Structure 1
Amino acid sequence: MSSLAQQVNPSRYRATMLLRILALAVTGAVALTVSLVVTQDTASAHGSTINPASRNYGCWKRWGSDFQNPNMASQDPMCWQAWQADPNAMWNWNGLYRDGVAGNHQAAVPNGQLCSAGQTGGVRYAALDNPGNWQSTKVSANFGVKLHDQALHGADYFRIYLTRQGFNPLTQRLNWSNLELLKETGRYAPGAGTRETGDPVLNGVSNTINVSSSGRSGRHIVYTIWKASHSDQTYYWCADVNF
């Protein structure tokens, strides 16, 4: 404001300047809050299955830089409903876990809530349980499951399950009785695996677990349990495949 305006109405000038200072302070506080949230999420990064991609990692990978695109509703409807329900399920694609399970997975994760790890974190991941036309990865009877350990936790074990023939992920929620265990691994030391260099977001290590299935055709779900070795922390992921 000009010096003439200050002379004409000094009270109004002081009030205007005070409002500007308050506005700047609010803007700074919002920016700090956003910064803290991003830092917290980044610090709590852990991992996911990346091929075949878990439901929320796949949605983030395809739409994370374009999540407000209305074309998602027709091109990728299950991701669309998940983004609308809670975008944090995709921004936190690497944090779908439960603490304190003590190996009792079926007690911690109820039927119908396997893809959300028993709605861990409240309803953040609940949309991942919804049946429908999730984008799937084409696989053959023998395929690999690539898991990314972003925080270098290591593993007490990985368990790879596959839905039984007759289960329909387009119309059914996943229950424990729908699953067949294909493989349980031994221990992976923290940091064991191949360092990812092609994608800066995947800044940890990856391991591929080869599995064999038979008698499968059409759409199925690969269900993975990762028991991290650094604490009693267990991850649960649904990945859609098409034989």
Structure 2
Amino acid sequence: MEWHVHAKPITAKIAALVAAAMLFLIPWTDTAAAHGSIVDPASRNYGCFERWGDDHLNPAMEQEDPMCWQAWRANPNTMWNWNGLYRENVNGNHQGAIPDGTLCSGGNTEGGRYDSLDAVGPWKTTDVGSNFTVELFDQASHGADYFQVYVTKQGYDPATEPLTWGDLELVEETGSYAPAQNISFDVSAPGRSGHHVVYTIWQASHLDQSYYLCSDVNFG
């Protein structure tokens, strides 16, 4: 069974969701100075937060959205801190820093807080065409030295296979972006159909801080 969702535009809803997240932060979290994530096509933990943040105890999630269900059960802070999945001081050596099978968690970053994002299974998808737009919401307005966007090769199955660097094709590398809360750019990934993973590396400008973001998409 396959699900599809359409990411919503960057609107005041995001501000409300961010405010809600901050209200739910428990004392041992550390992202009061929030960062950002890809919101369209939604990163895995942002999508789970957007769909279930105000209803995360609903038992219906187990059947309706099983990958989000396992993520909430593993660690709710994966979603409350959807904007904090990053590594520092990678020095551009992304493949060296992030082992195969841990790409969506940023290499087991933050003490394993995001490990559930590496789980293999039927993650909900956003419908896209061969040409689509990637949208970042950067609450802290860090800007970007660059973005690198990879898309899985045709034949890879996110529902049954862990994600590795060998599964990915680099389809876009941008230049720098000035600090802003909303950044978007176009991507082209022809020759694909079905469920794929868009893997975005956002190199923030304020520090050597690299974000690693998995978004599940369906190429129609």
TM-score range for the pair, normalised by the shorter chain length: 0.7 to 0.9
Are residues 1:189 and 2:178 paired?
yes
CA distance in 2, matches of 1:174, 1:58: 19
Two-structure CA RMSD over aligned residues (Å): 1.5
Residue 242 of structure 1 is matched in structure 2 by 218
Of 26, 33, 36, 1:47 maps to 36
CA deviations on 1:55-97 (whole Å, 9 max, x unpaired) are 0000011101111100000000000000000000000000000
CA deviations on 1:91-117 (whole Å, 9 max, x unpaired) are 000000001100000111000000000
Q: Higher helix share goes to which structure?
A: 1
Letter in 2 for 1:110: P
Residue 109 of structure 2 is matched in structure 1 by 120
Residue 13 of structure 2 is matched in structure 1 by none
Query: In the alignment, is the contact (CA less than 8 A) between 2:131 and 2:186 conserved in 1?
Result: yes
2:112 aligned counterpart, secondary structure: coil
1:57 aligned counterpart, secondary structure: helix
Residue 175 of structure 1 is matched in structure 2 by 164
Q: Which runs of 5+ in 2 are unaligned?
A: 1-23
Query: In the alignment, is the contact (CA less than 8 A) between 2:25 and 2:80 conserved in 1?
Result: no
| C-alpha deviation, 1:37, in angstroms | 3.0
| C-alpha deviation, 1:207, in angstroms | 1.5
Q: Which runs of 5+ in 1 are unaligned?
A: 1-33, 192-204
CA deviations on 1:119-145 (whole Å, 9 max, x unpaired) are 101221111001111110000111111
1:58-73, aligned counterparts within 5 Å? 58-73=47-62
Residue 37 of structure 1 is matched in structure 2 by 27
CA distance in 2, matches of 1:38, 1:125: 15
Are residues 1:219 and 2:195 paired?
yes
Residue 92 of structure 1 is matched in structure 2 by 81
Residue 141 of structure 2 is matched in structure 1 by 152
The verdict on how the C-alpha distance between 1:232 and 1:166 changes in structure 2, with shifts beyond 3 A counting, is same
Residue 46 of structure 2 is matched in structure 1 by 57
Are residues 1:81 and 2:57 paired?
no
TM-score of the two chains, using structure 1 as the length reference: 0.78
CA distance in 2, matches of 1:148, 1:159: 16
**When the two structures are aligned, how many residues end up with a matched partner?**
196
CA distance in 1, matches of 2:120, 2:29: 33
| C-alpha deviation, 1:41, in angstroms | 2.4
CA distance in 1, matches of 2:87, 2:203: 10
CA distance in 1, matches of 2:147, 2:193: 24
CA deviations on 1:212-243 (whole Å, 9 max, x unpaired) are 11110110000000000100100000000001
| C-alpha deviation, 1:208, in angstroms | 1.5
| C-alpha deviation, 1:181, in angstroms | 0.6
* Runs of at least 4 residues off by over 6 Å: none
Q: Higher strand share goes to which structure?
A: 2
